[in-house]
Structure 1
Amino acid sequence: MADVGSGAGLPGVVWALARPDLRVTLIEPLLRRANFLTQAVENLGIADRVSVLRGRGEEVKAVWGTFDVVTARAVAPLGKLLGWTIPLLREGGRLVTLKGQSAAEEIESASAEITHFRLTDVRVVQVGSPWVEPATTVVTAHLGAAQ
């Protein structure tokens, strides 16, 4: 799993803590934040399964096509975000982006990019309700053939 634009570690570090079976790569372009993430991962004792890469998703070509799941939260509008995240996915992988109330409009605006990157099963999902209000809006998609 890769988390693009990890910032303070959300959601990547949370996933790593909640799911000890996952290997997580946190991708963060800003030096200060990447250093923070490295220290946090060490302090939390999860450095054996969580790595930090400094760079942008579209720049870390060494890991392109290697992830089953790529997440991103509050990074960019969907059309732009796809160019930074989709290259990281392996065929059949899943993109999970935390979005706001404009998620459906972002999907519509990004229709050309969705087609270009061969995304299927693109959906808006509300998660967390009734425990969290307002619910979190998530856009999910698969790379390649529908699952």
Structure 2
Amino acid sequence: MRTFTTLDEVAGAANSEIGTSDWFVIDQDRINLFADATADHQWIHVDADAAAAGPFGTTIAHGFLTLSLLPHLGSKVFTLENPGAKLNYGLEKVRFPNPVPVDSRVRAHVAFGDVKELPAGKQLTVNYTIEIEGQAKPACVAAHVVLLLS
């Protein structure tokens, strides 16, 4: 776990690997709860019988479920304890190259990208690659942009 307590420490880690989270299981209960929260009950996610006959042979996690795990998985790798607000500014280039079959384990590889100066602080890009255990292609690749205000 890396802890950053100043904006200068964050800037010093620009364009570097930060670490890798522990494995996290994506089970059917989590998929169903996400389907309920988003009203996305497509059969490929929630109907085990239909999904068994589908292209992946089982249910798969929603891509946005995988994406929504970035804050949790990232919190196992680093913390930003610098003074001031930390604001989610958005995402850049999100891709889902590989589906996440039910009961798979995923983890995040985290790297800091650019750190840009702002009048009120810094803009940090955090690059995530969500790996599926035993799979060559990642489940998700995303760049999360965070505003760190002083």
TM-score normalized with structure 1 length: 0.26
Q: Which structure shows the higher strand fraction?
A: 2
Decide which structure has the larger Cα Rg and report it. 2
Question: TM-score scaled to structure 2, two decimals?
Answer: 0.25
Structure of higher RCO (CA pairs closer than 8 Å, 6+ residues apart): 2
